[in-house]
Amino acid sequence: MRAGDRLLIFGSSGFVGGNLAYQAPQRGWQVIAADQDHPGLDHKVIPRTVDITIPGAVEQLVRETAPTAVVNCAALANIDIAEREPELAWRVNVAGAQTIAESCASHGIRHIYLSTDAVFDGKKGTYHEADTPNPVNHYGLTKAKGEGKVLDAHPQAAVVRLSLVLGYPVARGNSFLAALEDNLKAGKMVQAPSHEIRTPIDILTLCSCTLELIGINNSGLLHLGGMESIDRYTLTCMITKALGYPDNLVHIQSKTDVQAGRAPRHANGILDISKARQVLRTPLLNLEDTINQALQSRVTNPIGDNEYGKA
């Protein structure tokens, strides 16, 4: 990157976007943090309010800020809410993603779009970039459609599929680790499914990979994760121990214990990361190091009394 390069991040109030907005200035980026609101982001970013479902608003922001690169972390990522509010999920995850990609393409801006392994049905052994999406819930459907809209609008964009991101939010966001720790602190029993397998990556490694990907000539689909896949029950037990709590607080959630109103999930989220290992210099970690990095991702807000890492 060059001095003065500007990074526009959509969805900067969320878990991944907030961490990226916190990490990027430390790598020399001038960051424009865009979202519908801003709950106490660091003073090193330029906060901007925008609704990505309004095409004119996105184009105006891109014109005004003239970014070198744009990362779209914005999504309605809660699977159950997406199932209950399909039109909202479509506006954000499909139409909003298309709008951002079209604006980036028209200005020749490097673009990264974050997606998910939920585009797959989870019935296959290991998923490669060339495998055909077949989602089992509305969230996965909107992200699969969003991927297509992004690459149709901006063929040079990079679409990064993630399985499970571990770490703490900077301001707020949907963090599995933060929610787990809150429950353990409260002495609550935690249930986790042993039949759902994921390929976790820690938030610090994800931010490093994303910032590196901006600067290299790589487009299309890219699967990103750690070196090992694991079922969610075993992972939850490992994290519980690492946090200093007894793992007898964690119980296996069977397929018949699914809560009412919970959208279906794909069982197998094993991502093949061979392509990522070839194109990126950032090391992809084993499971133990992934968990350790995730636990080290909690940081303190240097401005005011807000504490980064609160769920």
Tell me the CA distances in angstroms from 67 to 15, 58, 111, one per residue in order. 22, 12, 10
**Can you give the pLDDT at residue 298?**
86
Classify the C-alpha dihedral 113-235-80-183 as positive or negative. Answer: negative
Give a yes or no: residue 190 inside a domain.
yes
Tell me the CA distances in angstroms from 73 to 103, 199, 253, one per residue in order. 16, 19, 30
Give a yes or no: residue 1 inside a domain.
no
Least confident of 45-49, 159-163, 207-211, 231-235: 45-49
- Residue whose structure tokens are 């190091």: 289
pTM of the model: 0.93
Q: Please give the residue range of the domain that contains residue 119.
A: 6-295
Which value, to the nearest 10 degrees, does the dihedral of the CA atoms of residues 138, 256, 178, 73 take?
A: -10
Give a yes or no: residue 304 inside a domain.
no
Please give the Cα distance from 214 to 150 (Å, whole number): 16
CB contact at 8 A, 159 and 222: yes
Average pLDDT, integer, range 112-132: 97
**CA 122, 276, 295 angle in degrees (round to 5)?**
80
Give a yes or no: residue 45 inside a domain.
yes
Please give the Cα distance from 120 to 162 (Å, whole number): 12
Least confident of 43-47, 117-121, 162-166, 298-302: 298-302
More confident residue, 220 or 36: 220
In our burial notation (b when 16+ CB lie closer than 10 A, e otherwise), range 265-292 reads bbbbbbbbbebbeeebebebbebebbbe
Write out pLDDT tens, residues 3-38: 579 999 999 999 999 999 999 999 999 999 999 876
Helices and strands (H and E) in the chain: how many: 11, 13
Give a yes or no: residue 306 inside a domain.
no
Give a yes or no: residue 249 inside a domain.
yes
**Which residues in 36-109 belong to E strands, given as ranges?**
45-49, 69-72
Give a yes or no: residue 12 inside a domain.
yes
Centre a 10 Å sphere on the Cβ of residue 219 and count the other Cβ atoms it contains.
Answer: 16
**Can you give the pLDDT at residue 172?**
79
Give a yes or no: residue 205 inside a domain.
yes
Secondary structure of residue 142 in the 3-state scheme: helix
Q: Would you say residue 40 has pLDDT above 70?
A: no
**Can you give the pLDDT at residue 23?**
94
Indicate the number of domains in the chain: 1
Domain holding 137: CATH number? Answer: 3.40.50.720
Name 6's bridge partners.
30
CB contact at 8 A, 99 and 109: no
Query: Which of these, 32, 34, 18, lies nearest to 68 by C-alpha position?
Result: 32
Please give the Cα distance from 170 to 242 (Å, whole number): 21
